[in-house]
Chain A
């Protein structure tokens, strides 16, 4: 069983829909990261959180430490949100993150 699991693996939605991507982990963590990988390949860090909730524009990330679960929400989704969203956790080593396999999101106009 992978230590970091994301669901769904693939998600297709219509423009404007509310999107939720989930990340579950099985180890104790110091922080959880959400990243976005664009279709062209570039990777951008979206959030780093260790408790509660963070918001940036239409993106919201939440984490429940007790349940070992995090969600990434996108409100009013847009085709430009189409990307792979990756969850990673810092556990033990400060330098070796444990990476999820990613969720591929397609938003149709």
Chain B
């Protein structure tokens, strides 16, 4: 009963390093999302994928890239990490748009 699985759960990077956050869902959902959550702020959408083969920018896409590898997997890449990208990152999926979203447990990312 995995739902949405994110890896890693924690990561510390140095400024300028790159890394990829992985997300996989086993609910056969069409749509997937990447959010960041910063203290005192609501969730902010980074990128989303409405369906396999498509990706679109959200509210805060700068500094990130995504890949919808297949229907199950949606990865988020930081090419050159910056301290401003220190945040908690959540992946989510939904059957289609504007339907209840299922969230992963989050990745706590610190950029030094």
Contacts and interface: CB of A to CB of B under 8 A. Distances in A.
Whether chain B is bound by chain A comes out as yes
Interface residues of A, number: 22
Contacts of B90: 43
B44 A95 contact: no
A101 interface: yes
Contacts of B42: 4, 86, 88, 99-102
Contact of B96 (A30, A93, A94, A99): A94
A96 B99 contact: no
Q: Determine the main DSSP class of A at the interface with B.
A: strand
Sorted nearest first, the 6 A-B pairs with minimum C-beta distance are A94-B97, A99-B42, A90-B98, A45-B100, A43-B103, A94-B98
Contacts of B97: 90, 93-95
B94 to A, nearest CB: 9
B98 A95 contact: yes
B40 interface: yes
Contacts of A44: 103
Given A86-B43, A100-B42, A48 B100 contact: yes
Interface of A: 4, 30-31, 33, 41-45, 48, 86, 88, 90, 93-97, 99-102
A13 to B, nearest CB: 22
Nearest to A48: B100
A45 B42 CA distance: 15
A95 B50 contact: yes
A99 B59 CA distance: 11
A84 B59 CA distance: 22
B2 interface: no
Given A33-B100, A42-B106, A44-B103, A96 B43 contact: no
Nearest to A2: B42
A100 B41 CA distance: 8
B12 to A, nearest CB: 17
A83 to B, nearest CB: 13
B105 A96 contact: no
Contact of B44 (A42, A48, A99): A99
B106 A41 contact: yes
